[in-house]
Structure 1
Amino acid sequence: MEWTLEVVVVPVSDLDRAKAFYAEQVGFTVDHDMTVGEGARFVQLTPPGSGCSVVIGKGAVPEMPPGSLKGLQLVVNDLPKAHAMLRERGVEVSEIEVFGSGAWDGEANLDNVGFVHFADPDGNAWMVQQISSRK
């Protein structure tokens, strides 16, 4: 039996600001933006190529303090390219780091050990890791 993770709820304080950040700056696709009753709205967004989406909302999702989600991780096959894209879109993103070694020298292999970090406007923390192939 396969078990797949399909949705992660991300707690935010301002739904429209968060939607704009994830869609326009980070580049997620907006799958749904639905109002499901008085005061209940949710937005589902999916990272390009991902089988798992994030949901932000009010009244239709579990209550969690905005900014309390830490350690969300995205995986890309080209970390320098992803880093440049985030910067070009105005995301405050860390420099590229090599796990256990510190700052990337521009030449070391980043597979499995290369990371950048960013946070959404509420402080929900994300990591982006490079994995070019899986064994």
Structure 2
Amino acid sequence: MTATTRVISVSVPVRDQDKAIEFYTQTLGCELVTDVELWPGARLVEVRPPGSSVSLLLLPPDSEIPVAVRLGTTDADEAHARLTAAGATMHNDEPLRWEGVPPMFAFADGDGNTLVYLEEGGPTRA
């Protein structure tokens, strides 16, 4: 069975990403890890407390990037098949494969919370 390997990141909904960066870095002492526009209108901002392996993604509530808890898994395909067979609410018909990022997919738990599985430990697939 595919394992959940760790919590990678947790999304925090924010109204203004620039103000959130200022608060999380200057007030809370987090490090800015990522600030990129993945595609037009989809800005990904990631901060991390020093010494932590878990990041916070600062996302607007209306972002196309899901506000979710991101978990690592050993095999995205197997995890997707297992969750589909278990009747989980799937947000992707199959794992997404984008150049430079690991296979991933989004789903919901029984309470409607969005979770994302990202494959860890193997080569990144295009």
Bin the TM-score by the shorter chain.
0.3 to 0.5
Q: Between Structure 1 and Structure 2, whose CA radius of gyration is higher? A: 1
Structure with more of its chain in strand, by fraction = 2
State the TM-score, normalized to the length of structure 2.
Answer: 0.46
State the TM-score, normalized to the length of structure 1.
Answer: 0.43
